[in-house]
């Protein structure tokens, strides 16, 4: 009996596996105009613009310009007679918008006021106003004290201006024009101008115990620090309590 041959190790090759289907190309996503596609590199941010240079801060003014009279405009005749009668009494003559201003040294203001009242060509018998302005940068003569004069007989005007330093004495005009009494009190009350020879120099608008002079440009906007109160009623209550304590 014939022997059966042993099984051969050579197996028929297995059929090849079918190739996977090729991936379909991804559908293109519509991108709105002006919009960058996802994943696209963003453009670099623009460099910041340099900060604009600030213009230099102007220095605070040191006083009005006091323009001289234009060519062809002559001062009134009483100005020449004043200069002849009191040499050095007028350091500058100014003319602005039809008004004349004489800048007078403080040493001559008493003599100038008497002359302008008594001289027949001046006859300034009415002092209509006394006021002041504060110019802190002008340390040698911080204040402009201004007298507005009027002649009821000759119907003309003049303005006197005196430059004084802080605490510098200036003679009162009350002996010449009694109407200057309360006007000078107001200037002293609000600016602290040191009028001498005044018959009744005391505060006229602010309380007697008020600290400082409110119209000075360096006066704190919130008022004096020691008695700073948000509610004015509190100030009145404090003052009333102090008055009642004085009575008791």
The reply to whether 157 falls in a domain is: yes
The reply to whether 42 falls in a domain is: no
pLDDT at 62: 83
pLDDT in tens, 27-65: 555 555 555 555 555 666 666 777 666 777 777 888 899
pLDDT at 225: 60
The reply to whether 128 falls in a domain is: yes
The reply to whether 112 falls in a domain is: yes
Residue 88, domain extent: 77-211
pLDDT at 14: 57
The reply to whether 37 falls in a domain is: no
pLDDT at 15: 56
> What's CA 82's distance to the chain center, in Å?
37
Q: Please list the ranges in the chain whose pLDDT falls under 70.
A: 1-47, 51-53, 223-232, 235, 246, 248
Sign of dihedral through CA atoms 193, 199, 205, 210?
Answer: positive
pLDDT at 220: 82
Cα–Cα dist 164/141, whole Å: 5
Number of independent structural domains in the chain = 1
Domain CATH number, residue 95:
3.30.460.80
Burial readout 51-67 (b: 16 or more C-beta within 10 A, e: otherwise): eeeeeeeeeeeeeeeee
pLDDT at 125: 98
pTM, full prediction: 0.69
The reply to whether 38 falls in a domain is: no
How many CB atoms within 10 Å of residue 103? 16
The reply to whether 21 falls in a domain is: no
């Amino acid at each position: 009996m014939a022997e059966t041959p042993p099984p051969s190790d050579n197996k028929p090759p297995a059929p090849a596996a079918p190739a996977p289907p090729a991936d379909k190309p991804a559908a293109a996503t519509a991108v709105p105009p002006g919009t960058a596609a996802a994943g696209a590199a963003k453009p670099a941010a623009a460099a910041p613009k340099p900060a604009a240079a600030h213009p230099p801060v102007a220095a605070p003014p040191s006083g009005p310009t006091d323009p001289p009279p234009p060519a062809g405009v002559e001062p009134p005749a009483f100005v020449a007679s004043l200069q002849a009668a009191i040499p050095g009494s007028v350091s500058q003559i100014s003319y602005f918008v039809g008004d004349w201003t004489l800048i007078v040294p403080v040493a001559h203001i008493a003599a100038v006021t008497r002359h302008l009242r008594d001289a027949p060509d001046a006859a300034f018998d009415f002092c209509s106003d006394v006021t002041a302005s504060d110019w802190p940068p002008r340390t040698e003569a911080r204040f402009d004290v201004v007298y507005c004069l009027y002649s009821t007989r000759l119907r003309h005007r003049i303005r006197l201006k005196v430059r004084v330093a802080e605490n510098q004495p200036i003679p009162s005009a009350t002996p010449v024009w009694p109407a200057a009494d309360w006007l000078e009190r107001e200037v002293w009350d609000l600016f602290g101008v040191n009028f001498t020879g005044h018959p009744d120099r005391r505060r006229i608008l602010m309380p007697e115990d008020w600290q400082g002079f409110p119209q000075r440009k360096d006066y704190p906007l919130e008022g004096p620090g020691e008695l700073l109160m948000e509610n004015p009623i509190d100030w009145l209550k404090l003052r009333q309590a102090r008055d009642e304590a004085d009575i008791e």
